[in-house]
A and B are shown apart, each in its own frame.
Chain A
Amino acid sequence: MSAAVGPYDSLQPTSRIASRFATRKNALRLLSLIVVFSVWEILGSSNPFFASHPLAILEAAQADLIPVVLPAFVTTIIALATGLAIATPIGVGIGFAMGRIRLMDVALTPYINAIYATPRIALIPVLVLWLGISFELRVTIVALGAVFPIIINTYAGSKHVDSELLDTGYSFTANSRQILRTIVMPSSLPFIFAGFRIGIGRGVSGVIVAEMTSALTGLGRIMIENAKYLQIAEVFVSIMVLGIFSLFLFEGVARVQQWLTPWGNTERLR
């Protein structure tokens, strides 16, 4: 049997990649972006209500992005990463404890809930009092923001492990440690990721708020400084950096999740 020639065989690799992106959906998205940005430019450059417009933003970016914005951004990221690195093991640990030990569950649930619901910015004045305006302050705010969703989601995942799967473990004479390691933990992994994703979001907003109010370092400070001098186009540069970074971060976490949990949903297969 001779090798059949398919429709894409003669294409170069780049064209093959291009054909993957050339979907109708993406075309619509691109069109929408072009239209909206054009309209924004037209309206924004003339009407003072619009704080800025794309061309001005690009100009500001050209001047500011590399010398000013990116270094500040790096400072912010370091605080973010540190806070997340602290919050994750603590959050997962407490979450598991609450999920598997009834006493912890009953005792802590309402208080965790209450603190989780409270806007963190209300705590900033007190935290500033305790920690001063410092790296520790920013890290603490990130950690406080991230730890609660991680706790809550880990709790939910570890509490509601499919009882049939637990029975299976018991039937093979697994002890509690083995049950935890071989059943509860893998089963909770998707939940932990969900919590982590939410935690990142809160961490980012936390560090920006902290930087805006304390105005010492980081992206938040740049934004506030720019705002003070009414350089709104510059503010938008920071906003764009923040937004694009967040998008990449979320997508990245989703990819890692896909890689670490290739089996999909952990609902019992029927």
Chain B
Amino acid sequence: MTARNPAEIGLGTPPLTDSPELVASPTEDLEVGKKPGFLYTRRGMFIVRLATLVIIIGLWEWYARGVSPALLAPPSRILEKGFEMFATESDLIPAIIQSVGTMFIGLALSIAVGIPLGLIMGRFKTAEAVLDPYVMFLYVLPSVAFVPVFVVMFGLDIKLRLALIFMSAAFPLIINTIAGVKHVDQELIDGGVSFTANERQITRTILLPGSLPFIFAGLRIGFSAAWVGCIVAEMTALITGMGGVLLEAAARFRTAEVFVVIFAIMAVAVTIQWFTARLEYWLTPWSRTNERV
């Protein structure tokens, strides 16, 4: 079993999710016929993780009690506040809807532009040469740097947020798509050509499926980058959405509320990860090996 090594492009590795269907087993059958150990069973893993969580929360609770409530809120308080914020007519739920919604629109934009652009740049060396300097430059540049510029260009409304989300998410997507296309074996393309496929057909039937693993890597990175971009926009320029709620709570030193929002933001982020992993699993049945976690 070889590890995925997209190390060359700096794509990084997939998130640490357990393979959805299979239970983990050790990679070495040191003894023929030996059963996998406790730490490899679903139940075992769950227990260990739960225990870790309990320990962390326990320590946190204990430490937070001895410290000023403005500095650190104990988990019990956070939970309490959490119920309050979600149950009552607080700003939190509308804020969540607004933030997540904006992110999706920005992401859709990034995908609509990013993937086709990546396909073109990957396939045609001329396009790559022409666009490459900008893509690389904007990829390494932290998108946060554009906030002042975008404020001037777009004003303080949703266009600003969309622009920032786009800047965050589009470039990883483009770069990974390019890598994916380049990774498609030239022989496969030649095969298509020999069947007299035209450019459109080649793209649809060979390039796209062939680059899917890389496109998904880009999607994974781009998706989480989009969420980061959204929160950054909300917390730096406009005080709106979940970022805004967080800042307001922080300004009033309501630390427990701040933590509630932090966890809500984290929850969205984790859901995004889980979702992209599942999507990839569903859409690329041919690369499902008996991958041992």
| Residue B166, interface by CB 8 Å | no
Taken residue by residue from 15 to 54, chain B's Cβ proximity to chain A (1 for < 8 Å, 0 otherwise) reads as: 1110000000001100000000101100011001101110
Distance between A43 CB and nearest chain B CB, rounded to angstroms: 13
In contact, A163 and B125 (Cβ under 8 angstroms): no
Taking A163-B1, A191-B5 as contacts, is the C-beta distance between A118 and B148 under 8 angstroms?
Answer: no
Residues of chain B lying within 8 A (CB to CB) of residue A103: 39, 48
Give CA–CA (A107, B50) in the complex, Å: 8
Taken residue by residue from 29 to 61, chain A's Cβ proximity to chain B (1 for < 8 Å, 0 otherwise) reads as: 101110010000000000001111000000000
| Residue B91, interface by CB 8 Å | no
Distance between B216 CB and nearest chain A CB, rounded to angstroms: 16
| Residue A157, interface by CB 8 Å | yes
Write the chain A residue with the least CB distance to B134.
Answer: A36
- Select A129's contact among B5, B51, B70, B235, beta carbons within 8 Å: B70
- Select A212's contact among B39, B125, B144, beta carbons within 8 Å: B144
Residues of chain A lying within 8 A (CB to CB) of residue B231: 119, 121-122
B-facing residues in A171-215 (Cβ within 8 Å): 190-191, 193-195, 197-198, 201, 204-205, 208-209, 212-213
Taking A28-B126, A190-B7 as contacts, is the C-beta distance between A209 and B52 under 8 angstroms?
Answer: no
| Residue B228, interface by CB 8 Å | yes
In contact, A247 and B130 (Cβ under 8 angstroms): no
Residues of chain B lying within 8 A (CB to CB) of residue A157: 3
Distance between B149 CB and nearest chain A CB, rounded to angstroms: 5
Distance between A224 CB and nearest chain B CB, rounded to angstroms: 7
How many B residues face the partner with a CB closer than 8 A? Answer: 75
| Residue B95, interface by CB 8 Å | no
In contact, B266 and A32 (Cβ under 8 angstroms): no
In contact, A194 and B149 (Cβ under 8 angstroms): no
| Residue B227, interface by CB 8 Å | yes
Give CA–CA (A25, B149) in the complex, Å: 31
In contact, A126 and B16 (Cβ under 8 angstroms): no
Taking A119-B227, A197-B10, A212-B236 as contacts, is the C-beta distance between A190 and B125 under 8 angstroms?
Answer: no
In contact, B235 and A121 (Cβ under 8 angstroms): yes
In contact, A117 and B5 (Cβ under 8 angstroms): no
In contact, B137 and A247 (Cβ under 8 angstroms): yes
Residues of chain A lying within 8 A (CB to CB) of residue B52: 107-108, 111
Taken residue by residue from 256 to 279, chain B's Cβ proximity to chain A (1 for < 8 Å, 0 otherwise) reads as: 001101100110011011000000
In contact, A246 and B243 (Cβ under 8 angstroms): no
Distance between B27 CB and nearest chain A CB, rounded to angstroms: 5
* A–B Cβ pairs within 8 angstroms, 6 of them: A24-B129, A52-B149, A122-B262, A236-B149, A239-B141, A247-B136
A residues with CB within 8 A of B: 24-26, 28-29, 31-33, 36, 49-52, 102-103, 106-126, 129-130, 149, 152-153, 155-157, 159-160, 162-163, 166-167, 190-191, 193-195, 197-198, 201, 204-205, 208-209, 212-213, 223-224, 226-227, 230, 232, 235-236, 238-239, 242-243, 246-247, 249-250, 265-268
